Amino acid sequence: MPGGKGGFDLYYATKKSENSFGLPVNLGDVVNTPGDEASPFYQDGKLWFSSNGRPTIGGYDVFETQWNGAVWSDPKMMPMGINTSLDDLHYSRSSDGFTGFLQSNRPGPNNLKSKTCCDDIYAWEIERIKVELLAKTFRLKRKGEKENQPLKGAVVTMLDVTEKKASNVDEKNNLASNEFPFTLQPERSYMVIANADGFKPDTVSFNTLGVKKSTSIEEKTHFTPFKARTRV
């Protein structure tokens, strides 16, 4: 429509009632270029769209911009995999941001006429990083024992202490073994509290900061009987 920045532009319109919208408003020079901007997808203050009017890997590429209540941030190009040297449009994502869809004419098994003749729909998924923790409970070794002994029947509580107020993640008891598996999230701080009848509780603090891929870790707790001296 008249007044655009060139080619296809992106606009927004305010919803006035169920079947009534205000006049479309151009998103401005930060988003729109002399080229074409197309296939917008908006979610929680972020806008994803395709453009061929700014530096791209090739053809249309998908970009992301953030609304701060007053202006849009400078659009950033999405990484390879989402974008290719061909046309990538109609990007969308689930509410948690781990899965979504896009349209592309990248080479694929269904492009029968030529490798890049036609657009296909693709699904994408980001690996959900998980930290598998195995907490183990042990009784401190007694006189004549060479090592600490596994302690069955304990209760292990997992707390998230990232924020000022700790929250209970999970609690487990195990009468048959001294092993307690937990699934944790990256970029969090945790505390393990282990209790067993007749023994002093033990705590272990750790965090998953900087974890970039799914991994497994092991933490050990050691119990001292109430009537025994604490070993230094």
pLDDT value of position 229:
38
Do 210 and 157 belong together in one domain? yes
Predicted TM-score of the model (pTM): 0.64
Number of domains in the chain: 2
Given a cut of 80, is residue 152 above it in pLDDT? Answer: yes
Residue 231 has pLDDT above 60, yes or no: no
Q: Report the alpha-carbon distance of residue 94 to residue 100 in Å, rounded.
A: 6
Give the tokens for residue 231: 């070993």
Query: Looking at 28-42, 48-62, 207-221, which range is the least confident one?
Result: 207-221
| Least confident window among 56-65, 73-82, 96-105, 198-207 | 198-207
Least confident piece of the model among 33-37, 128-132, 146-150, 222-226 = 222-226
Q: What is the mean pLDDT of residues 9-26?
A: 94
Cα–Cα distance for residue pair 43/41, rounded to 1 Å: 7
**Is 215 a member of any domain?**
yes
List all residues 6 or more positions away from 59 whose beta carbon is below 8 Å from its beta carbon. Answer: 52, 84, 85, 86, 87, 88, 105
> What is the number of residues in the chain?
232
| Domain final residue, candidates 60, 94, 125 | 125
Identify which of 61, 89, 92 has the alpha carbon closest to the alpha carbon of residue 75. 61
Domain carrying residue 147: 131-225
**CATH number of the structural domain spanning residue 157:** 2.60.40.1120
Q: Clarify whether residues 117 and 137 are in a common domain.
A: no
Question: What is the Cα–Cα distance from 183 to 216, expressed in whole angstroms?
Answer: 9
Q: Is the pLDDT of residue 227 over 50?
A: no
Q: Quote the tokens at residue 148.
A: 């600490």
Note whether 169 and 192 are same-domain residues: yes
* CB contact at 8 A, 227 and 143: no
> In sequence order, what E strands does the chain have?
11-12, 15-17, 20-21, 25-26, 37-43, 46-51, 61-66, 76-77, 88-93, 99-104, 120-125, 131-139, 149-150, 155-160, 167-173, 179-184, 189-195, 199-200, 202-207, 215-225
Residue 37 lies in a domain: yes
Tell me what pLDDT residue 222 has.
78
Same-domain pairing of 96 and 149 = no
What distance in Å separates the CA atoms of residue 93 and residue 45, rounded to the nearest whole number?
14
Q: Which two tokens stand for residue 222?
A: 């050691």
For residue range 78-136, list pLDDT tens digits in order: 999 999 999 999 999 999 888 999 999 998 766 655 667 788 999 999 888 888 999 99
What local confidence, expressed as pLDDT, does residue 6 receive? 85
